[in-house]
Amino acid sequence: MAPVRAMTAALVCLVLLVLAPTALSAQWSPSAQAVLPMLVTRGGAPAAALLAQEGTRTRYASAGTGVARADHFRAGSITKTFIATLVLELAAEHRLKLSDTVEQHLPGVLSGPQGDVGRDLTLRALLTHTSGLSDFTSDTQGLVPLSPRQAVRIALTHPSPGPGRYSYSNTNYVLLGMVVEQVTGRSYATEAERRIIAPLRLTGTSFPGSRTSLPSPHGRAYAADGTDVTELDPRVAGAAGELVTTLADLDRFYAALLGGRLLSPYWLHEMTDTRTAHGLYGMGLFPVKLSCGTTVWGHNGRITGSYVRTAATMDGRRVLTFRVNTTTVADPGLEPALLAAEFCPRTS
């Protein structure tokens, strides 16, 4: 799922004017909790939930029925932040370079009708979505379980304009998952467990592989047409969107990442450098400038039956994750409204 980039400033201002509490003396307004029900009433979600964290303080809110604070859910493309972190940790250990070509690590994998495009593509291009590779999910609609090589072969049936232009593609991160396995001799799931999940004690987070069920506790997940899609084969997304997690774990992960607990300042700067992607994307993270001028960092994730968004301040001290138990929020203006309600300072 491509990051949300369009901010609907007029809607944000209207929502804040109507919903912001007037009796609060704190500098920051917790009115994201007031915006949340609109994801159900106007966004068409059966249920929605959020968990905000600032230091040791947390705030939980839900709307609709069928979600709970401890629920496990599918996080879709938020998986990309985990994969990018693994790649940058390997770069920090000098086990690969971002300037390495795909061909160096995965010989012949990108050989297709247009020739061996892997000789021209760097790992940096994959991380920043500037490879030019087609998104395999455009063909599968995120419904067909595939092996990584099958996903890449589908992408190669479409012509590539070559690297340089930003174009969000799940194929990039499937390839990065393959690179992690080639470099370490272990799957990206195993590497994520030992490098991220276990050290941060993300007890509700896992890479389920081909397991179609969610761990307990969990609610139900629904497609846009109301079909129950709680049972889903994660191989429809692989390293681009396989992750299962919880609200608390995502808040903890992004706070730790942006707070410098997983990467050194040098590599965290690389991760948040958006110049390669023309200001639109870093490496597994993207910035959004809110209507008040505040910029938040994070990622979103969409997979059939689930939409999730985590956003945080640059230092990771303030984090918000919200989710709905369906594929899409019908009103695209609600997401920026909710983020502005959480992160923009009060003006009165």
Q: What is the pLDDT of residue 345?
A: 84
Q: What is the pLDDT of residue 80?
A: 99
Among the residue ranges 105-119, 178-192, 253-267, 272-286, the one predicted with the least confidence is 105-119
pLDDT (tens digit, 9 = 90+) per residue, 13-49?
333 333 333 222 233 444 899 999 999 999 999 999 9
Is the pLDDT confidence value at 239 over 50? yes
For residues 266 and 91, the answer to whether their CB atoms sit within 8 Å is no
Tokens 């990108």 appear where?
A: 110
**DSSP H helical segments within 3-93, as ranges?**
9-19, 32-35, 38-41, 79-92
Q: Is residue 60 part of a domain?
A: no
Q: Which two tokens stand for residue 53?
A: 């964290």
Q: The domain that contains 180 carries what CATH number?
A: 3.40.710.10
If one counts every other C-beta atom within 10 angstroms of the C-beta of residue 228, the result is 10
Rounded Cα–Cα distance for residues 161 and 168 (Å): 14
Q: Is residue 249 part of a domain?
A: yes
Residue ranges making up the domain that contains 271:
74-325
pLDDT (tens digit, 9 = 90+) per residue, 176-221?
999 999 999 999 999 999 999 999 999 999 999 999 999 999 999 9
Q: What is the pLDDT of residue 28?
A: 41
Q: Is residue 43 part of a domain?
A: no
**Domains in the chain: how many in total?**
1
pLDDT (tens digit, 9 = 90+) per residue, 120-129?
899 999 999 9
Q: Is residue 170 part of a domain?
A: yes
Q: What is the pLDDT of residue 113?
A: 73
Q: Is residue 179 part of a domain?
A: yes
Q: Is residue 130 part of a domain?
A: yes
Q: Is residue 203 part of a domain?
A: yes
Angle between helices 79-92 and 170-184 (to 10 degrees): 40
Output Rg (C-alpha) for the chain, integer angstroms.
19
Rounded Cα–Cα distance for residues 271 and 286 (Å): 9
Q: Which of 338, 195, 320 is nearest to 251 (CA)?
A: 320
Among the residue ranges 22-31, 78-87, 248-257, the one predicted with the least confidence is 22-31
